[in-house]
Structure 1
């Protein structure tokens, strides 16, 4: 080996060594950061997340997809509350509302298609309109009388799609609606808090990137499961407005639901969320008591989206919750539960 060759090999080795040391250093820093967070006092450490039970049912939609459904509360209650979860979550995300309402109200909770324990749907059938059809069919099968619909994030969009496709249900059977951290459209314009130039770059490359991730979903999922500390930090940062004080157990619970959602499902629904536009369907909700809630630090469905809905529904009760982000029903359960109880009282009148 010549002197020149040895020098090149040495330089290459130094570069690889430095890069490896950098990666190892970042991994160590990440582990240290997560470890410090987990050592903090955790008031939710004994909370029985995922253990509330309820009667399990399987419902097959008109296009042949089996949905996982739970029924709880007194089955002879005069009012049913239907809880519709968000993107990359499942019915367990309603833990605090489920626990608070189950004593006096009949509850219907369900995993939206391809989420939780419901079966996967083909990519072409992963649309907001199809979710609206699923909800309508679910009401026909499991809700014998009047009901209140509650939707978080994509679940709120599901309710809007139902209003667009079956407006006759609102006022007749659907007596109240609550929309949490959701949007009537224009999600493709999200900035995620980035400066305008970077936001435009992200908006431009995001659809193609998500499509590529979806095609390599199995490999990506293995990487996601290996990197749950990163998932913990990302969920803590984006999901919770007061991230410094949020319970590590609660972050783990939320992150586990997101991580359990296959990357292919994330990719299949992404175009539907970006193309969602149901502002005109809000007119259907106007005669129905409606509560709109959003966190003031929500980067995924920013407050201005909820304000736009409130402007379209001037009779709605609008609440912007301080120091709160996208997972509002988990981060501020007392606020959300109080709003839902007030809505139910208004409906029962």
Structure 2
């Protein structure tokens, strides 16, 4: 049986998928990985994820979770039945981004985590959501639970990541790419780049949406994922039928 794995973003947890879990659990096995919280590099995170889950996988990753999903595909393409990348990127960090992350790490190390988190809110959310006190409080509480050590370790992992763009031409499984039109952290051009390199990719850009898609537009994300998983299931069933027919000849 195919298992759906949800891959949270940097310093994120199950909160990021709270509105998707009921819908996905009604469909079948689903797990929120914590590999990013327990390992120091993306290759190690992918190894841990693959070891924790048997059989074919459907990977649904947002932000850093999408980057990790591509690393899982790099290591075990035969295990990946389908993949959805939400507000993510296949590119490596630029020197400018590395400098920004390095500066943030310095602030985390000196106890100034909240200063960085609050400054990041306008980049994490669409302007209309950045003024929602409950949503912002949930986001800040989630990252505070991760704490400075995870923030430092995961930022270093992201800075050291490989360029995943060369992988895209060999990605033959179903791929859904979703991005907020106002995403300032992983702009729509990153998602367009991924979709353009994968012939069977579905690209959806969400208006009035920033980086944290699953929290900002949960019902829209649920609808997109539900429809996409229906198509994935139909393809899997069709392939199984073809194999069964071939075995009877």
- TM-score normalized by structure 2? 0.83
> Counterparts in 2 of 1:1-349, with a 5 A limit?
78-114=1-37, 119=38, 121=39, 126-140=40-54, 145-169=55-79, 174-188=80-94, 203=97, 205-216=99-110, 219-221=111-113, 224=114, 231=117, 234-235=120-121, 237-243=122-128, 247-276=132-161, 277-285=163-171, 287-349=172-234
- For structure 2, the 5+ residue unaligned runs are 235-249
User: Do the aligned partners of residues 299 and 187 (structure 1) sit closer, same or farther apart at CA in structure 2, a change above 3 Å counting?
Assistant: farther
Whole-angstrom distance in 2 between the partners of 1:249 and 1:322: 22
> Conserved in 1, the CA contact under 8 Å of 2:6 and 2:61?
yes
> Conserved in 2, the CA contact under 8 Å of 1:167 and 1:284?
no
> Conserved in 2, the CA contact under 8 Å of 1:148 and 1:344?
no
Q: Per-residue deviation at 1:188?
A: 2.4
Whole-angstrom distance in 2 between the partners of 1:255 and 1:215: 18
- For structure 1, the 5+ residue unaligned runs are 1-77, 190-199
Q: Per-residue deviation at 1:91?
A: 1.9
Higher relative CO (Cα under 8 Å, sequence separation at least 6) belongs to 2
User: Do the aligned partners of residues 252 and 147 (structure 1) sit closer, same or farther apart at CA in structure 2, a change above 3 Å counting?
Assistant: same
After superposition, the CA RMSD in angstroms is 2.4
Q: Per-residue deviation at 1:243?
A: 2.4
> Conserved in 2, the CA contact under 8 Å of 1:177 and 1:290?
yes
Q: Per-residue deviation at 1:330?
A: 0.9
Q: Per-residue deviation at 1:292?
A: 0.3
Q: Per-residue deviation at 1:109?
A: 1.4
Q: Per-residue deviation at 1:90?
A: 0.8
- TM-score normalized by structure 1? 0.61
